[in-house]
């Protein structure tokens, strides 16, 4: 089974935690590669004009990394304690979607900014939906075809 490769202590305790961990890693990659240490391309600079007016892109990249690390850390929590990671990740996705909307409304960014905002709002919606998944452990998934536990 592929989920057993990481061992019981190196992987989140539940499937819901693993999903949150994946989203946390995506935030770290998006923030780390997209905004830290690189120049933001000109069209994206117009979309993000609202955020870039208040802080440089490197700052926002570190916010992405911070939210991603928090989501990854809370993915390992048991019971219902991962809700804080889901709340942080979905709230940040919705807020970043609003940055794109503000760029379009107030800073004359092209209407393509709406497409970026829709993607971030969908990201937030998927996170919110995943937060409502029941807690299923990996042992609950480990059944063979006859219905017996492996």
Q: Residue 5: inside a domain, yes or no?
A: no
Q: Is the pLDDT of residue 126 over 60?
A: yes
Q: Residue 143: inside a domain, yes or no?
A: no
- Answer whether 20's CB lies under 8 Å from 80's CB: no
User: What tens digit of pLDDT does each residue of 1-22 get?
Assistant: 444 544 455 556 678 888 999 9
- CA 63 – CA 74 distance, rounded (Å): 16
- pLDDT reported for residue 67: 96
Domain hosting 40: range is: 13-134
Q: Residue 148: inside a domain, yes or no?
A: no
Q: Residue 7: inside a domain, yes or no?
A: no
Domains held by the chain: number: 1
Q: Residue 144: inside a domain, yes or no?
A: no
Q: Is the pLDDT of residue 66 over 70?
A: yes
User: What tens digit of pLDDT does each residue of 37-56 get?
Assistant: 888 888 888 889 899 999 99
Question: Cα Rg for the chain, rounded, in angstroms?
Answer: 18
- Answer whether 99's CB lies under 8 Å from 107's CB: no
Q: Residue 58: inside a domain, yes or no?
A: yes
Q: Residue 63: inside a domain, yes or no?
A: yes
- pLDDT reported for residue 87: 93
Q: Residue 26: inside a domain, yes or no?
A: yes
The residues near 51 (Cβ < 8 Å, ≥ 6 apart) are: 60, 99, 103
The residue with greater pLDDT, 25 or 134, is 25
User: What tens digit of pLDDT does each residue of 67-125 get?
Assistant: 999 999 998 877 677 889 999 999 999 999 999 999 999 988 888 889 989 999 999 99
- Answer whether 114's CB lies under 8 Å from 100's CB: yes
Strand locations in the chain, DSSP E?
none
- pLDDT reported for residue 141: 65
- pLDDT reported for residue 111: 86
- Answer whether 75's CB lies under 8 Å from 82's CB: yes
């Amino acid at each position: 089974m592929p989920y057993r490769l990481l061992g019981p202590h190196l992987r989140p305790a539940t499937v819901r935690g693993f999903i949150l961990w994946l989203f946390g890693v995506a935030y770290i990659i998006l923030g780390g590669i997209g905004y830290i240490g690189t120049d933001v391309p000109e069209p994206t600079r117009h979309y993000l004009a609202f955020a870039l007016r208040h802080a440089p892109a490197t700052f926002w990249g570190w916010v992405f990394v911070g939210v991603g690390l928090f989501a990854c850390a809370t993915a390992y929590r048991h019971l219902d304690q991962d809700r804080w990671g889901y709340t942080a990740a979905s709230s940040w996705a919705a807020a970043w979607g609003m940055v794109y909307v503000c760029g379009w409304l107030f800073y004359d960014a092209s209407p393509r900014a709406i497409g970026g905002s829709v993607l971030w709002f969908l990201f937030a919606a998927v996170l919110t939906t995943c937060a409502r998944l029941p807690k299923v452990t990996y042992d609950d998934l480990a059944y063979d075809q006859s219905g017996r536990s492996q």
